Amino acid sequence: MQIPIVHLPHPETFSRAECVRNPVRYFAILSMQRSGSGWFETLLNSHVNISSNGEIFSVLDRRRNASSIIKTLDKLYNLDWFTSASKNECSAAVGFKWMLNQGLMEHHKDIVEYFNARGVSAIFLFRRNLLRRMVSVLSNSYDRHAKLLNGTHKSHVHSAEEAETLSKYKPTINSKLLIADLKEMEIMAARALEYFNSTRHIVLYYEDLVKNRTKLKDAQEFLGLPFIELTSRQVKIHKGLLSDHIENWDDVNKTLTGTEYENFLQADY
């Protein structure tokens, strides 16, 4: 049987009014922290027909077990979930972003079954350069405590001044564990793709989206939406050479040179 990919939700909390016969597509952005998913989601939400509702499973109670996950998904896909991204009655695509470590891997069998039964499309978003991701993770973790921007922590910024302030911190990377940590990230991404192989899905890479905006057209086509130019106010924090952003660059450079991860040392966009 063909999986339905268009739906006619009947929200309990409001009337879809004149849009009651407007079909809606369901999606989920599957990613890892600091892989560009926040930026990608702001781009999607600049589309008049897309509502992407953030990391709804960052809240532990919503992912405590498979039934709580499914209950949460049902509420969101029925349009009864309200965030600043909600476009209510005239949404044509509704979804959210789901980090791999937020119950997605542990309960993958139930989630795949749900996605296939409900026609949820998965958008995988990964970073090719896992060393850059590591720098971003460590820097963001540091700022949770340091709060470099006037005593507040920001995971994403909207000005060059804020980006410059955050980029001044240079993390020290454990070079002894570096290769094992990079391998672990690779394995997790590969396992997620394997688990969700039977779902309707697309795989996107952050670096490709940065370099080639036509990839954003692919995402819109995948969601069956009219193509428009997507925009985001987010400003990149760690620009330029990686050597400018790692405290123990010489150790890291020496550790990765001559390995399968040597290309991570180079500028990639």
pLDDT digits (tens, 9 = 90+) for 36-80: 999 999 999 999 889 999 999 999 999 999 999 999 999 999 999
pLDDT mean over 245-256: 98
- The H or E element that residue 202 is part of is strand 201-205
Residue 36 Cα to chain centre, angstroms: 6
Residue 49 lies in a domain: yes
Q: Give the amino acid at 167.
A: S
Higher-scoring residue by pLDDT: 149, 174: 174
Percentage with pLDDT > 90 across the chain: 74
Higher-scoring residue by pLDDT: 141, 254: 254
* d(C-alpha 32, C-alpha 43), whole Å: 17
Q: How confident is the model at residue 269 (pLDDT cuts 50, 70, 90)?
A: low
pLDDT at 1: 40
* d(C-alpha 260, C-alpha 269), whole Å: 19
pTM of the model: 0.93
Would you tell me how many other CB atoms lie within 10 Å of the CB of residue 79? 23
pLDDT at 146: 87
Residue 4 lies in a domain: no
pLDDT at 191: 98
- Tell which phi-psi region holds residue 7, choosing left (phi > 0), alpha (psi between -120 and 50) or beta: beta
Over the chain, what is the mean pLDDT?
92
- The H or E element that residue 124 is part of is strand 120-126
Cα angle: 121, vertex 194, 98; to 5 degrees: 45
Torsion angle of the four alpha carbons 159, 162, 164, 166, in this order, in degrees rounded to the nearest 10: -140
Q: What is the CATH number of the domain that holds 87?
A: 3.40.50
Q: How many CA atoms lie within 13 A of 235 on its CB side?
A: 13
pLDDT in tens, 104-150: 999 999 999 999 999 999 999 999 999 999 999 999 988 888 888 88
Residue 3 lies in a domain: no
pLDDT at 250: 98
Q: How many CA atoms lie within 13 A of 87 on its CB side?
A: 17
Residue 2 lies in a domain: no
* d(C-alpha 46, C-alpha 220), whole Å: 12
Residue 205 lies in a domain: yes
Residue 227 lies in a domain: yes
What are the Cα distances from residue 9, in Å, to 5, 42, 59?
12, 24, 25
Residue 8 lies in a domain: no
Cα angle: 168, vertex 58, 118; to 5 degrees: 130
pLDDT mean over 10-23: 88
3-state secondary structure of 268: coil
Question: Domain of 107?
Answer: 17-265
Residue 247 Cα to chain centre, angstroms: 27
Residue 12 lies in a domain: no
* d(C-alpha 103, C-alpha 106), whole Å: 5
Q: How confident is the model at residue 155 (pLDDT cuts 50, 70, 90)?
A: confident
Cβ neighbours for 68, distance < 8 A, ≥ 6 positions apart: 61, 62
Q: Give the amino acid at 41.
A: E
Task: Give me the number of domains the chain comprises.
Answer: 1
Percentage with pLDDT > 70 across the chain: 97
Lookup result for tokens 């995948």: 222
- Under 8 Å between Cβ of 23 and 8: yes
